[in-house]
């Protein structure tokens, strides 16, 4: 910056000393080299980083302990792109197996300067933003949900635009509301959610698409159904009953469901979720007819899940104690997703239906139980 200040001074002196010029002294505008989209000019334009087929992206994943993803999925990403090319981050201390598996860094999405330094210092090219408070938890603490889900998103968008990143932000079935078509729910329709979680996700979809059209940000978004995984604990989502039932079935042989037995919601196994995320991130931009897609795999009710599980565990007892808050949320959500655009544009195809899901979950817990007995 001293060079720029010197040039500015010289330019002023030259203008003032020019004979015959009746002009007033001019102020020379000097733009700081460090640019922030928080001060966007009317002709601003951003372009995503491109890399050859032999190059791997440098990926930053926010919120290691997100309810969207699992430690296994992160390790799969490291296997795909190289362990040093996938940086995991959170505000909490990671378990030792994660800490020793590759780069981990402290990051707070509400700290703009901290995030910006991470992106610059690690030459990040892809940013996967998982941080969010889910539906039921968000309703219990709206102020925190607004801060994390909206203010944190604004930081992510600005940094991604500033540094030309490819940005992935997941959305959700919760982005729809009681006036949305429910069976099936198309990609584009009335949304109008009734939870702070859903409102924040609609905000994320629209802001991401705005940054794409206004500044050229390579924004990509998938609306996840309920995600089921064996290696993560339920974290306050309305669809978490579909994970909790497996934990309780193995431990006690009994499960109390907080939704009505006929409550139908779209669901997906974590492996399909991770594969869909990687596929949409790797898809050529010219194949994407939109920036926010529905993805789907299966749709079932608590009663149908119970019946499938009882084929393997006939002694399982399931009772119902309906939580009115969670039930109201579920009743406003889609019963089934129309994901035909994802299947047409970038070839999305799921692998797991309900029988495969149940068998995979039981295999995981069976192996875990045998290992615990050995230990």
**Catalytic residue annotation:** 197
Say if residue 143 is exposed, middle or buried (CB neighbours under 10 Å; 0-12, 13-18, 19+).
exposed
Q: Are strands 317-320 and 254-257 parallel, antiparallel or unpaired?
A: parallel
How many CA atoms are closer than 13 Å to the CA of 23, on its beta-carbon side? 12
The set of residues, in sequence order, having a beta carbon less than 8 Å from that of 83 and lying 6+ positions away, is 101, 102, 103
Q: What is the dihedral of CA 203, 208, 213, 215, to 10 degrees?
A: 120
Strand locations in 254-301, DSSP E?
254-257, 265-269, 292-294, 298-300
Task: Cite the beta strand spans of 131-239 per DSSP E.
Answer: 166-168, 171-172, 218-224, 226-228
Strands 226-228 and 317-320: unpaired
Cβ contacts of residue 79 below 8 Å, gap of 6+?
A: none
Indicate the helix (H) or strand (E) that contains 136. Answer: helix 135-140
CB atoms within 10 A of CB 154: 17
Return d(Cα 10, Cα 4) in angstroms, integer.
Answer: 10
CA distance 180 to 261: 22
CA dist 219 and 211 (Å) reads 8
Question: In degrees rounded to 5, what are phi and psi of residue 89?
Answer: -150, 155
Task: Tell me which residue of 299, 313, 309 sits closest to 352, measured CA to CA.
Answer: 299
Q: How far is CA 105 from CA 84, 88, 94, 125, 283, in A?
A: 12, 6, 9, 16, 28
């Amino acid at each position: 910056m001293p060079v720029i200040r010197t040039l500015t001074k010289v330019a002023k002196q030259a203008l003032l000393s020019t004979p015959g010029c009746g002009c007033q002294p001019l102020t020379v505008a000097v733009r700081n080299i460090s640019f922030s989209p928080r001060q966007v000019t009317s002709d601003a334009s951003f372009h995503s980083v491109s890399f050859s087929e032999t190059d791997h992206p440098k990926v930053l994943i926010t919120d290691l302990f997100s309810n969207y993803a699992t430690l296994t999925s992160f390790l799969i990403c490291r296997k795909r792109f190289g362990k040093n090319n996938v940086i995991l981050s959170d505000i909490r201390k990671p378990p030792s197996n994660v800490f020793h598996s590759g780069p981990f860094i402290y990051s707070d999405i509400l700290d703009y300067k901290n995030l910006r330094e991470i992106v610059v210092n690690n030459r990040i090219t892809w940013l996967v933003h998982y941080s969010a408070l889910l539906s039921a938890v968000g309703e219990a603490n709206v102020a925190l949900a607004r801060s994390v889900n909206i203010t944190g998103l604004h930081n992510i968008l600005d940094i991604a635009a500033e540094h030309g990143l490819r940005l992935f932000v997941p959305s959700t079935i919760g982005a729809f509301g009681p006036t949305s078509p429910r069976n099936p729910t198309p990609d584009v329709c009335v949304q109008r959610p009734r939870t702070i979680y859903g409102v924040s996700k609609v905000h994320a979809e629209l802001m991401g698409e705005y940054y794409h059209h206004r500044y050229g940000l390579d924004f990509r978004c998938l609306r996840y159904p309920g995600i089921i995984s064996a290696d993560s604990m339920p974290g306050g989502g309305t669809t978490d009953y579909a994970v909790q039932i497996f934990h309780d079935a193995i431990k006690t042989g009994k499960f109390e469901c907080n939704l009505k037995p006929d409550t139908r919601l779209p669901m997906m196994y974590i492996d399909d979720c991770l594969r869909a995320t990687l596929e949409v991130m790797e898809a050529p931009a010219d194949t994407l007819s939109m920036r926010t897609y529905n993805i789907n795999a299966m749709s079932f009710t608590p009663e149908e899940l119970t019946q499938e599980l009882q084929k393997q565990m006939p002694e399982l007892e399931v009772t119902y104690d309906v939580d009115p808050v969670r039930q109201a949320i579920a009743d406003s959500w889609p019963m089934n997703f129309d994901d035909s655009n994802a299947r047409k544009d970038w070839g999305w195809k799921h692998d797991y239906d309900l029988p495969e899901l149940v068998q995979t979950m039981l295999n995981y817990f069976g192996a875990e139980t045998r290992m615990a007995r050995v230990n």
